[in-house]
Structure 1
Amino acid sequence: MDSPIDGNLSSAKAVLLGALASGVNGPTWSMIKITFLTLGVCLLAMLLLAFSSSDFIMIIHVLLLFLISGVLLILLNGFLAQTGLVSLGQQMEEMGIVRKDRIEPSKTS
């Protein structure tokens, strides 16, 4: 469940908070996926340049970089599937930015 405080945070602040607190929040995970997508585009451009230069060593090197980044993304997906995402409210509470009673309203009403 999203807390009311989650909607008041910009994406950049949520990513910064995700970098400083334990766990992975949704905006941080989205930024990681975008980063891997741009890495794939850059590696594809490098691979096309390596094929155009017909340099066998360069082609193997770029293919190994593709393999390393692909394995890293698969391992990150597996780790996140086991641990799950953490809400921004939990991360803010852990860092002492907000109090718990502000995140979860009392259920005595």
Structure 2
Amino acid sequence: MSAQQQRLPGLDDIGPVLQPALVPGQSIQQRFEEFNALNPWVLRHLEALIEDCVAQGFRRVGIGMLFELLRWRYGQATHGDAFRLNNNFRSRYVRLLIDRHPQWAPLFETRTLRAA
């Protein structure tokens, strides 16, 4: 196991990915909030990945890269269904991460949300 993998939370806290029920008329934000509530480990792992990026001296971080790393790590730790992390949630996770860690704001480029 590499030093980078050792700094990340253990894979034992990755549970099944629980998908919220699809409710007609629900906004992306509502679906994101449900997904995040059902899968709190996703946020914890994103935070750990960003902490590692900061420690490595990254000046910019792309949420797309973090999502793909998370998908890869999850795929290593589980068997069965493919990990479904909705790309529509990327911008929501960035905003949540910045709310929780304002010092990370310069790492990300954000744009105005177009969809509710």
Indicate the TM-score class for this superposition, using the shorter chain for normalisation.
Answer: under 0.3
| Greater helix share, structure number | 1
In the superposition, the TM-score normalised over structure 1's length comes to: 0.27
Higher relative CO (CA 8 A, sep ≥ 6), structure 1 or 2? 1
